[in-house]
Amino acid sequence: MTAQEKLTLKTDNHKHICVGLDTDINKIPEFLLKEENPVLAFNKIIIESTKEHCGAYKINFAFYEKDGIDGLKTLIETKKLIPEDILVIADAKRGDIGNTSKMYAQAVFDKFEMDSITLHPYMGGDSVQPFLDYEDRISFILALTSNKSAEDFEKCELLNGQPLYQKVIEKIHDWNKYQNCGLVFGATNPQELISSVSLMDDLPVLLPGVGAQGGSLEEVVKIFDATGKTNYLVNVSRGLLYLDSTPAFGRAAEESIVKMNKTVNSMLLI
Amino acid sequence: MTAQEKLTLKTDNHKHICVGLDTDINKIPEFLLKEENPVLAFNKIIIESTKEHCGAYKINFAFYEKDGIDGLKTLIETKKLIPEDILVIADAKRGDIGNTSKMYAQAVFDKFEMDSITLHPYMGGDSVQPFLDYEDRISFILALTSNKSAEDFEKCELLNGQPLYQKVIEKIHDWNKYQNCGLVFGATNPQELISSVSLMDDLPVLLPGVGAQGGSLEEVVKIFDATGKTNYLVNVSRGLLYLDSTPAFGRAAEESIVKMNKTVNSMLLI
C-alpha cells in the first residue's frame, strides 16, 4: 500500500487522530521499568490499544535519537509493531542540500521503512526534492507550527503582505507533482487555519498542538468539515500516552481515543 | 575546552578550513572496501592527514544515518578519532518545538558528544533555545544556505524590504546571551555576504559551498579580511576527500588543505 492509500483508508472513515509516540521513559508507568526495554513495552501496549481507532502513528525521532544506538533499535522495533495498513510518519524535521537530503531520505524511507516524514521548508525546493522523489511516501512540510515562536519568522509578512507560511503552502502546491506533499499546521493557530484552509486545497494536513500545547480538536474538525476536507490528521501525544500510571494505561489510552473519535463524529455536518 | 575556545584556537591562527566528513562509500578508494569498516578506515586517514592544518571537522549526520545503526556506530567511532582540541560540528540541521529540541540536543551534545550543531531557524527562538542552553557548545543557525533554492524563502523580502535571512541574523544576535550562537552562510552568495558581513558582527560563521558547489575560498577570505573578522570556517568536503583513489589519498588531502591554508595566508592584509 502507498502512504497515500494508507492515509485515505483511515481519514475517509473519519479516523483523524494521529497517535504521537513521543515516548519518554521518565513519564511511562513505573511498573514498566523492570522490563528489558520499557519504552518498547510501553509502545507495544499503546499501539495495541489504539490501532483500531487511530488514523496514523507519528514517531518523534528525537525521543529515540536521544538514547543513541539503543534508541534507534527501539525505533526500528516500534515500527514493526504497527499494522501494515496504518500510516507511520517519521517526525524527523529534516531538510538539507540535495545530495544530503537524498541520504536522509534513504535513512528514513529505505532504512527505517517509514511511510512519511516531516520536513523543514527553509532551504527551499531542491532541499525537499529528494524526499519527493519517493512517489509512494508523503512528505509533510512545515507551514505554520504550533509553538509560540512561530511568530519569529513563519508569521512574518512578505512584501505583498502575505505571511511566510502561506507562501510555503503555495510552494508546496508547486512541488506536488506526484501528489505526495502534505503540510504541517499547528492546531494552536485556529484563526490562521480558517484563513488558510482554502489555500490548502487537496493537500493532506498534519496538525500538532492539540492537548498539552493548547489546541482544540473540536475547532480543527469544525474548520475542515465546513470545507468538506477530510484528509487531515490531528496529532495527540502527551494527551493520550500518560493518562494512567497503572497497568490499565493502555485501556485509558483506548478510552481516550474512542472519545476523541466520538467528538469528531458528533461534529460532522452529515 | 569549550567549543568557543576550540574555534578561536584555530581561527586566530588562520586555520579556517573545516573538513567536511561527508563520507560516501561509493566514492572512497576501492582498495578500502576490503576493510571491516571502509568508511571509518577512510575517515581515520583523512583525519590524520588534515588534523594539523584544519580549523574544524564537520560530520554530516545524513551520510551516517543512511546506514542506520551501523552508520551511527561509525559516526561515534569517527568522533573518537578527532583530537580533543579541534571543534567537531554535527551537521544535523535539527529544530523542533521545545520539548523535542531538548531531546535532539541531548542526542547530539550528550550522547554523540559533539561540540557544535547546525540548526534550522524556521520555527523560531523557542525551537533553538534547548540547544543554546548548552553554554559551552556552538549552535550554527542557517541564515543563507549555499543551494540554489535558497531563493525560495531565505531571500524573500519582508515588508521592510529586508530579506528573510537578514532577519534571521538579527534574531540570532537576540538569542546570543551565552555567546554560543553562530550562523551558516553559503559561500555561493558572495554579494549577499558583502552586504551582510557588518550585520554578523562577532558571530562565528560557517560557510559551506566552496568547491563542488561553486563558491570561492579567495572571495570569502577577502570579504572577511577586509573587516578584520577571523572567527569563520570555510567547509570543504568533496573538494578534499576524493582527490585520489590510490593509497596516497591521505597525502593528496593533506597537500590540498596545506595549499588552501597558503591561499588564505597569502590573502591576509597583514
Query: A198 burial class (0-12, 13-18, 19+ CB within 10 angstroms)?
Result: exposed
pLDDT tens sequence across B158-193? 999 999 999 999 999 999 999 999 999 999 999 999
Amino acid letter, residue B114: M
Residues from chain B contacting residue A157 (CB–CB below 8 Å):
158-159
Grid cell 485556529 is found at A190
C-beta of residue B163 within 8 angstroms of C-beta of residue B157 = yes
For residue A99, give how far its alpha carbon lies from the nearest alpha carbon of chain B (Å).
9
Interface touch B145/A97, C-beta < 8 Å: yes
Residue B54 is classified by DSSP as: -
Q: Distance (Å, rounded) from C-alpha A125 to C-alpha B151? A: 9
Q: Which helix or strand (DSSP H or E) is residue A226 part of?
A: helix A217-227
Q: What is the pTM (predicted TM-score) of this model?
A: 0.97
Q: Distance (Å, rounded) from C-alpha A175 to C-alpha A157? A: 22
Q: What is the pLDDT of residue B35?
A: 97
Range of the domain at B62: 3-267
Phi/psi of residue A169, nearest 5 degrees: -60, -45
pLDDT tens sequence across B226-241? 999 999 999 999 889 9
Phi/psi of residue B92, nearest 5 degrees: -120, -15
Q: What is the pLDDT of residue A247?
A: 96
C-beta of residue A208 within 8 angstroms of C-beta of residue A17 = no
Q: Which of B138, B133, B22 lies closest to B78, judged by CA?
A: B22
Q: Distance (Å, rounded) from C-alpha B65 to C-alpha B103? A: 17
Interface touch A122/B159, C-beta < 8 Å: no
When pLDDT is cut at 50, 70 and 90, the band that residue B106 belongs to is very high
B31 in contact with A at a CB cutoff of 8 Å? no
Q: What is the pLDDT of residue B214?
A: 87
Q: Which of A22, A7, A10 lies closest to A239, judged by CA?
A: A22
C-beta of residue B139 within 8 angstroms of C-beta of residue A107 = no
When pLDDT is cut at 50, 70 and 90, the band that residue B69 belongs to is very high
Cell of residue B21, nine digits: 566528513
Q: What is the pLDDT of residue A239?
A: 87
CA angle, A143 as apex, A22 and A113 as ends, to 5°? 45
Using the predicted structure, report yes or no on whether residue B270 has a pLDDT greater than 80: no
Q: What is the pLDDT of residue A270?
A: 59
Using the predicted structure, report yes or no on whether residue B28 has a pLDDT greater than 80: yes
Catalytic (active site) residue B66: no
Q: What is the pLDDT of residue A214?
A: 87
Cell of residue B194, nine digits: 558583502
Residues from chain B contacting residue A161 (CB–CB below 8 Å):
159
Residue to mutate among A89, A101, A149, with most B CBs inside 10 A, is: A149
Q: Which of A71, A95, A111 sits opposite B120 (nearest CB)?
A: A95
Q: How many helices (H) and strands (E) does chain A have?
A: 11, 8
Q: Distance (Å, rounded) from C-alpha B107 to C-alpha B83? A: 21
* Mean pLDDT over each residue of chain B, to the nearest integer: 97
Residue to mutate among A109, A128, A152, A159, with most B CBs inside 10 A, is: A152
Interface touch B103/A168, C-beta < 8 Å: no
Work out how many CB contacts closer than 8 A connect A with B: 187
At B207, which CATH number?
A: 3.20.20.70
Q: What is the pLDDT of residue A226?
A: 94
Interface touch B100/A22, C-beta < 8 Å: yes
Using the predicted structure, report yes or no on whether residue B24 has a pLDDT greater than 90: yes
A25 in contact with B at a CB cutoff of 8 Å? no
CA atoms lying within 13 Å on the CB side of residue B63: 24
How many domains does chain A divide into?
Answer: 1
Residues from chain B contacting residue A23 (CB–CB below 8 Å):
none
Q: Which helix or strand (DSSP H or E) is residue A238 part of?
A: helix A238-241
Q: Distance (Å, rounded) from C-alpha B239 to C-alpha B241? A: 6
When pLDDT is cut at 50, 70 and 90, the band that residue B212 belongs to is confident
Residues from chain B contacting residue A150 (CB–CB below 8 Å):
123-124
Amino acid letter, residue A59: I
Residues in chain B, how many? 270
Q: What is the pLDDT of residue B131?
A: 98
Q: Distance (Å, rounded) from C-alpha B245 to C-alpha B247? A: 7
Segment 87-116 of chain B within 8 Å of chain A by CB = 91, 93-101, 103-104, 106-107, 110-112
Amino acid letter, residue A238: R
Which residues of A are identified as catalytic?
93
Interface touch A145/B97, C-beta < 8 Å: yes
pLDDT tens sequence across B128-143? 999 999 999 999 999 9
Q: Which helix or strand (DSSP H or E) is residue A183 part of?
A: strand A181-185
Per-residue pLDDT of chain A in tens (270 residues, 90 and over written 9): 999 999 999 999 999 999 999 999 999 999 999 999 999 999 999 999 999 999 999 999 999 999 999 999 999 999 999 999 999 999 999 999 999 999 999 999 999 999 999 999 999 999 999 999 999 999 999 999 999 999 999 999 999 999 999 999 999 999 999 999 999 999 999 999 999 999 999 999 999 999 878 899 999 999 999 999 999 999 999 889 999 999 999 999 999 999 999 999 998 865
